[in-house]
Amino acid sequence: MSPNPAALPNPWATFEGHERVVVARDEATGTSMVIALHSTVLGPALGGVRMTPYAGSTEPGAAAYADALRLSRAMTYKNALAGLDHGGGKGVILGDPTAKSDDILHAFGRLVCSLDGAYVTAGDVGMTVADMDVIGDACRWTTGRSPERGGVGDSGILTSLGVFRGIQASVAETLDRESLDGVRVAVVGTGKVGGRLAAHLVEAGAEVIAFDPSLDARAALADTVPSVRFMDSLEDLLAAETDVLSPNALGGLITAEVGQATSARVICGGANNQLAEPAVADLLAARGIVFAPDFMVNCGGVIQVAEELVGGDLDKARARTEQVYATTRRVLQRAKAEGVTPVTAAEQEAEDRILRHRAAAEQVV
């Protein structure tokens, strides 16, 4: 494993605000990797590793680097808002996840180990529980492993619960409705998070319409929650009349065009980085659309894997995830009172906790 900063154009251009960024290449497999540590003020940085080829990018290495920076910053806010004693970090393995091997996963594990506990990894896009078991063979700072290997298993269970509670809170604040009876929710992506979310919503009385390009994902949900109505295309789903739009696939779905056209009054989902660009938050606010920041509501998974480090009490993790409802209402009320977007209010809420912790630590010293 060798440092490889020259692999990226001007790699330090967007480094500001991060404590450390490691760019490396495993010579044996020819695989490039990035780990970004945004903050360790609250504790060791905790965040998942994703594996993706960034096939649509003309500069995949630069895209991987930028993704790690953006996602690690979001993890700092996510962990702070969730009340965890962890800062934010993120790992990226540049490559096709269908071509992953034990050698690649072990190499990433060794890279995590080189940080000596400053970063704790977990699963993310392109990774499975079995993959985390393999990484764990090479690195003890690994979570999201199987129960057989001392882990808590699939973190999508609590991620979907947190998003569901975020939707409930957002609907209560925006539509003044304490119940989801008759509320129409458009779910984008029905995988391990979106599928479970759809089940929660239907059980709560919501009408759910959905889209997923995967026929397998659609068939699996149709078997378990037959009342969900699938649209023929993403465009059809986005054009449908709806109260809530819930992105649960990859990020960047909410462009300025989508923000201008959607009939939804609430946007709340499990996908990371849902806004295509920061200015979309202002556009949504100007239209009276409440955007519940993804890093505020999709924290159930990181709560679950954080619990893996201290005993694996899933009941405790579930109770903490339930607090997403109270956090969401508090942040949305703060946004309204201060005349800022929910994104700004959520970031301020997280930064307040980080500043309090830093001040307390300085007093002890």
List the one residue out of 249, 244, 245 whose CA is nearest residue 193.
249
Distance between CA atoms of residues 46 and 60, nearest Å: 24
Q: Can you read off the two tokens belonging to residue 294?
A: 């993804």
pLDDT at res. 365: 57
pLDDT at res. 5: 43
Q: How many CB atoms lie within 10 A of CB 172?
A: 17
Q: How many CB atoms lie within 10 A of CB 30?
A: 9
Distance between CA atoms of residues 302 and 321, nearest Å: 10
pLDDT at res. 14: 54
Decide: 45 and 118 in contact? Cβ < 8 Å: yes
pLDDT at res. 1: 56
Distance between CA atoms of residues 162 and 157, nearest Å: 9
Q: How many CB atoms lie within 10 A of CB 110?
A: 16
Q: Which domains does the chain have, with CATH numbers?
A: 2-65+87-149 (3.40.50.10860), 156-299+325-350 (3.40.50.720)
* Angle between helix 324-338 and helix 156-175 axes, rounded to 10 deg: 40
Q: Which residues are catalytic?
A: 90
Distance between CA atoms of residues 201 and 165, nearest Å: 10
- Could you tell me whether strands 207-211 and 184-188 are parallel, antiparallel, or unpaired per DSSP bridges? parallel
Spell out, as residue ranges, where the chain has pLDDT lower than 70. 1-16, 364-365
SS3 readout for the chain: CEECHHHCCCCCCCCCCCCEEEEEEECCCCEEEEEEEEECCCCCEEEEEEEECCCCCCCHHHHHHHHHHHHHHHHHHHHHHCCCCCEEEEEEEECCHHHCCHHHHHHHHHHHHCCCCCEEEEECCCCCHHHHHHHHHHCCCECCCCHHHCCCCCCHHHHHHHHHHHHHHHHHHHHCCCCCCCCEEEEECCCCCHHHHHHHHHHCCCEEEEECCCHHHHHHHHHHCCCCEECCCHHHHHHCCCCEEEECCCCCCECHHHHHHCCCCEECCCCCCCECCCHHHHHHHHCCCEECCHHHHCCHHHHHHHHHCCCCCHHHHHHHHHCHHHHHHHHHHHHHHHCCCHHHHHHHHHHHHHHHHHHHHHHHC
